[in-house]
Amino acid sequence: MSNREVVVLSVGGVRFVTRASTLQQFPKSRLARMLNDGDREFKLVNGEYFVDRDGTLFSYIMDFLRTLQVSLPADFLDYQRLQREAEFYELYPLADLLSQEHLLKPRQEILEVRFSLQEMQAFFRIFGSCSTTVETLAEQITVFTGQQSGQSWNSPFPSQKPLVALPLERPSHHDMVFQCGTDYSAGDQFVARYVSIKPDNRKLINGTNVLGLLLDTLLKDGFRLLSTRTVSSEEKIECYSFERMKRPAGFAVTVHQTAGNSGVAQAKRSQVQKGK
């Protein structure tokens, strides 16, 4: 690689090495003009370009130029300062996104599990502030039912008798309802309901065991237990509240040349789904 293709910058004393093409993503920016000696703010000293700006924030500028995406740490707070830096370098698509910091900040996600144990049955209701999370969790939970005879609460389910999968009750996009345990129908016949939660393959009938597996699944998925309280002592309803910080959708900037003017780059904002 020739020396012209490699550019070294010292921003506030922090050294960066990159390609010239990376700095030319936006031809009208000051970084692009710098390469043509068109900006006096940048001093060329011993083959390195020096500019007296914030070096830490410039690392996010470089990440944006390399990926054309805005991706900031969950605990990032310096939106206004980074916006000011983007405006200094005349990277206006980035400055525009940063001015809408509410789109970039992680959001708190709340999920609540209500559990009631009544004789031989256990009842669950899960409510979540994010409908997508509730939908994903509903796909993990399956209730199996079958009519049995002469069995007790803790008896293992008889593998020789087929069980039928039941759809979960979904009162709304934000919650789900299901139950497990046994319910006598007539004589010594009763309906048994088992719960399976992926990726665990077990079918559990004991409500306390199902609750333990459900809470463990949520903790592994990044939720944090906030509180445990009794909603109704008479009905024995316990409530478990969870939270997690959900990463927002990232934003990508598409750069293209306008017809008849190869020296102008335009930016188009589009959402890119990120991980949690």
pLDDT digits (tens, 9 = 90+) for 105-115: 777 889 999 99
pLDDT at 96 over 60: yes
Average pLDDT over residues 23-32: 92
> How far apart are the two ends of the chain, measured CA to CA in Å?
38
- The CATH number assigned to the domain with range 6-105 reads 3.30.710.10
Q: What is the CA radius of gyration of the chain?
A: 29
Q: What is the mean pLDDT of the chain?
A: 82
Q: Can you give the three-state secondary structure of 153-178, one letter per residue?
A: CCCCCCCCCCCEEECCEEEECCEEEE
Peptide bond preceding 199: is omega within 30 degrees of 0, i.e. cis?
Answer: yes
Band (pLDDT 50/70/90 cuts) for residue 271 is: very low
State the pTM of this model: 0.58
Reference 70, options 105, 97, 90; nearest CA is 97
pLDDT at 261 over 50: no
- pLDDT score, position 150: 54
Q: What is the pLDDT of residues 176-212, one digit of tens each?
A: 999 999 886 655 667 889 999 999 989 999 999 999 9
Q: Where are the domains of the chain?
A: 6-105, 109-151+158-245
- Least reliable range by pLDDT among 11-15, 171-175, 263-267: 263-267
